[in-house]
A and B are shown apart, each in its own frame.
Chain A
């Protein structure tokens, strides 16, 4: 398995509180992605990164921000959590740009289950 971990694995928080999810990789892959997965919606891309300090928005970026200060870490922040952000969050990594049809695989982390009360 690719060396990709997410923390925390489970979190329960209250509406209006800030939340930061961390994705850590040991593969030295250039590209990192954050998705959320909800019943009936499949996986939806929130943000992605194509290098240190280089990030871009995905399909459902409103209410989320990201940062990547080191190759190995990609942080997802909910500035003020809302109940609609209750979801399972997956981080993924790839060596080449999957979004551009690159040939390399995209490896997923184990996921973080976030509940916003």
Chain B
């Protein structure tokens, strides 16, 4: 059974801090890894990572995949209160099954 573990479970920082969220996985025939941000209700897509070592960047957010370590990190620099959310990591295997981690709850205080 595929498994995705995110750490930390929750995190409280102050505006301006930089945070690093972790995602590790055990997947049969890994295909891709996805990051989502979930505020209030519905998750919104952030990144899809397929190749190891290639950083994807969107504004203050960036993410990189390490297939050797079976992990990915999501970095957020100069955090803002609007970054407060649950961040979800998910992996897709070659059998087209999608497995989500339990999420990291980030709270950014003013």
Residues of A bordering B, CB below 8 Å: 40-45, 58-59, 88, 90, 97-101, 103, 105-111
Q: Residues of B contacting A58 with CB < 8 Å?
A: 97-98
> Contact at A101–B32, with CB atoms within 8 Å?
yes
Q: Pick the contact of A44 from B41, B42, B100 — CB < 8 Å? A: B100
Interface SS, B side: strand
Is B48 a contact of A101 with CB atoms below 8 Å? yes
Listed residue (B31, B34, B45, B98) with the most chain A CB atoms within 10 angstroms of its CB: B98
Across the interface, do B102 and A108 meet the contact criterion of CB distance under 8 Å?
no
**Is B88 a contact partner of A103 (Cβ separation < 8 A)?**
no
Nearest B residue to A38, CB-CB: B102
Excluding A59-B97, A108-B44, 8 further A-B contacts by CB distance (< 8 Å) are A90-B42, A97-B96, A99-B98, A101-B31, A108-B42, A108-B43, A109-B42, A110-B41
Cβ–Cβ < 8 Å partners of B75 in chain A? none
Does B73 lie at the interface of the complex (its beta carbon under 8 Å from any beta carbon of A)?
A: no
Q: Which of B90-110 contact A (CB under 8 A)?
A: 90, 92, 96-103
| Contact B92 A45, beta carbon cutoff 8 Å | no
Q: Are B92 and A99 in contact (CB under 8 A)?
A: yes
Complex CA–CA separation, A111 to B41 (angstroms)? 7
| A40 proximity list for chain B (CB < 8 A) | 102
Interface string of B41-56 (1 = CB under 8 A from A): 1111100101000000
**B37: min CB distance to chain A, Å:** 11
| Contact status of A90 and B92, CB under 8 A, knowing A101-B50, A103-B48 | no
User: Does B61 count as interface, using CB distance less than 8 angstroms?
Assistant: no
Chain A residues, CB < 8 A from B31: 100-101
Q: Is the CB of A42 within 8 A of B97?
A: no
Residue of B nearest to A9 (CB): B41
A90 to B90, CA, bound (A): 15
